[in-house]
Structure formats: structure tokens, C-alpha cells
Amino acid sequence: MHKTIHKTILAGVASAALATSAYGAVVDGKGGFLSPGLIDVHWHSMMPISPGALINSPLNYVAGIAAWESGERVKRGVTTVRDAGGATAGLKKAIDEGYVTGPRIYPSMAVLGQYSGHVDFRNPNFLPKEWGGPRTPLEQIGLGLTANGVDEVLQATRDNLYKGASQIKMAVTGGVISFSDPLYVHEFLPEEIEAAVKAAEDYGTYVFVHAHSPGGIKRAINAGVQSVDHNSLADEETIKLMAEKGTHMSVQVLVAENIVKQYPEGDVRQAKAQQAVDGTDAVMKLAIKHGVKMAWGTDLLDDLENRAQQLHDLTIRTKWFTSAELMVQATGNGGATVALTGKRNPYGKLGVIEAGAMADILIYDKNPLADITIIEDYENNLDFIMKDGFVHKNEL
């Protein structure tokens, strides 16, 4: 018998002297190191295989792999993801009801994009759908939705909300794995972005964006966007604006490095990935200088082997941040980012261990605040995993 378990919250945390008498169930941490569950704010649950294979595979095949892979993320201690695009409503529901083991999902549903933008993967031999052509490949699998003009953006935003999106995602600059849009390209006019923001606000939630270049990032922030991912080419003026507006930020590091290594030389996507890699160091340093709120998000693509590097993506950031800062990014800051959903938040408080927060607890046998690299060897160093009050691992 399965049951909905996602509303389990912590009653409190007690010292060893009080725990036995004050609580009916007690977990003895045995001197381990306590952490909230990890939160990845840029994950694609329904992209467990390469984009090319994804477009040409039966959806139930993809869903089966995605369900299996969800359990692997919990084994790593990742108990929450903000899904950055994909038809995740069904997987979210199956996880919430206990049929599938996985992190709780904040679904964005289909990424909103314009023609000749980051989600436009049409065959150029076909007319646009509005002129009698077929739906785009990404629309057919629920990963992207092309919209042009204020009316279509409003329609697409409301459609995503109807289908279960907890927040809306838009692509407002060029992207790495798309073909027709260099990273410098601005996508969506200010009034189009504002339309999505207003429609999301009507439902008590927010818009976050895919954006690499300064102009697109500033346009989005000025239109009311509250969270920006990628940011690889952002300049100091842009980073200062993010700090002034309180915009949440996430930079995807390893995914671009992988594309540079794995895609053939001469591939336009490899060249764009190299641009992103080249810009990342300066962006991270500017974010630190201006105190922008940084959350951890990976965006790992292409295959299960790449995606299994999820925790390595966190540990390689020690070139910019201390281990303690990184743990905060992957817990408390991530919790603050997903909480931007406001009235539409499908869960409770995350990223902290305190009374009233969701019952996500990890216990490591070594201190990740001192050396975050220990989290990569989760099979040996992560002794206890609780998500939603359910114990997934206990080797204490």
C-alpha cells in the first residue's frame, strides 16, 4: 500500500540528553555530521538520455529510465530538484504518492522559447505550426513550447500552470545545445517576458530564465524575473543589478565542460560551450564580489554517465568557494530559491533542519563543511538518508 508522504515535517531536533524522553522515534547520529537534503535547482528529470535519442524514443521508455534514475539521486542525498524543463507532472505525482523513489520535484513543465531560439528544434523544411506545419519535436515530448508575441506567451504560461508547473521557465538568450542562436542573442521582447511574469504572479509564483549574455539577463530582471540560470557571459554591471534586485543566481559549470570535451571540434555547440567555460571564472568572482545569492544547479545532459557526475559538479566549485559556502548553496540557498514559488509552493520549507521544515536529513561520517569532496563518495560517507520522514538508508 502506497501513500502520500510528501507532507512529513520535522517536529524538532533534540540533544542526546532530551531525545529519548521527548520524542517517540529517535535517530542516534553517533557523532556524524548532520545536513539538510541537497537541492539541485537546475535538473531535467525527463532528459535521462541524449537530446537526439530523447526526441526519437517512446515517451514511456524515457519515463521508465527517468523513474529509475530518480532513485539514484536520492542515494546521493539529493532530495529536491527544481526541474528546468520537461513533462514531469506525472513523475512528480508518482514520487509524492510513494510509487517511485525520487527527490521531490518543482516542475516547470515546457520551457518557453521563441522561434529561432533555444527551444526551436524544428526541421527547417516544415512551416511553423501556426502556418500548417507540425508541432516542434520538443513540443511533442513536452520539453519546450514556442510562443511569439504577448498573446502566445500568456497562453503558453497559463497552459504550463494548468498542467502543474510550480514556476515558469523561459529561454531569454541563446543556448549551448541549440543550433540557431548564438549566446549573445536576446530572446523575447521585454513585453513578452513581462507578460509571463504577470501571469505567473497571478498564480502566486515566479519566472526564472535560461540566460547567458548580459543584455538578455538585464532585460529579464527588469521585467520582473526573480531567478537566472547559466549567466556565463554576465558582466559586472549585470551582476550588480542582480545583487541590487535580490535576483537568485545559479551557474552551471560541469555541463559546459563536458560538452567541450565530448562534442566534435567544429560543432557549433562545442564552440558555444567553450564560450561558456571561458566566461565562468569571471562570473563566479563577480558574484562573490557583489554578494549575489547563489544556489547550486547542474543541468547535466546527454546520458546517465554524465548525469551520475551530479555531486562532482558541486565539488569542482571549490576553486571559487569554501566547502561550507558550497553546502549552504546546495541546501539553504536552494531552499530559498524553490520557495520563490510562494503561494504555489507544493511543499514546505526546505534546505534547513528546524521544527516545521520538511523532514529531509542526511548524516555523513565525515564533515562536508570542512571538505565537501567527501560527498562524492556517498556510498561510503553518507550513512543516513531521510526524505519526507521516510528513511532510505541507515548504516549508522
Domain range annotation of the chain: 37-352
Q: Give the cell for residue 234.
A: 554576465
**Res 19 pLDDT > 70:** no
**Res 8 pLDDT > 70:** no
Q: Of the given ranges (20-24, 59-63, 149-153), which has the lowest mean pLDDT?
A: 20-24
pLDDT-derived band at 123 (thresholds 50, 70, 90) equals confident
The strand pair at 227-230 and 207-211 is best described as: parallel
> Which is it for the CA torsion 183, 185, 188, 190, positive or negative?
positive
pLDDT-derived band at 17 (thresholds 50, 70, 90) equals low
Given phi > 0 = left and psi -120 to 50 = alpha, else beta, which region is 155? alpha
Look up the CATH architecture of domain 37-352: Alpha-Beta Barrel (3.20)
Confidence at residue 137, expressed as pLDDT on a 0 to 100 scale = 84
Confidence at residue 133, expressed as pLDDT on a 0 to 100 scale = 86
Q: Give the cell for residue 107.
A: 516542475
Q: Give the cell for residue 71.
A: 532513485
In degrees and rounded to multiples of 5, residue 139 shows phi and psi of -70, -35
- Residues 299-312: pLDDT tens digits? 998 889 989 999 99
Mean pLDDT across the stretch 366-374?
97
Confidence at residue 9, expressed as pLDDT on a 0 to 100 scale = 59
Cell 547567458 sits at which residue?
212
pLDDT-derived band at 1 (thresholds 50, 70, 90) equals very low
Given phi > 0 = left and psi -120 to 50 = alpha, else beta, which region is 126? beta
Confidence at residue 27, expressed as pLDDT on a 0 to 100 scale = 81
- Residues 66-101: pLDDT tens digits? 999 999 999 999 999 999 999 999 999 999 999 999
Spatial CA neighbour of 101 closest among 395, 396, 386 = 386
Choice between 3 and 248, residue whose per-residue pLDDT is larger: 248
**Res 2 pLDDT > 80:** no
Percent of the chain whose predicted confidence (pLDDT) is above 90 = 80
Confidence at residue 3, expressed as pLDDT on a 0 to 100 scale = 52
Mean pLDDT across the stretch 225-241?
98
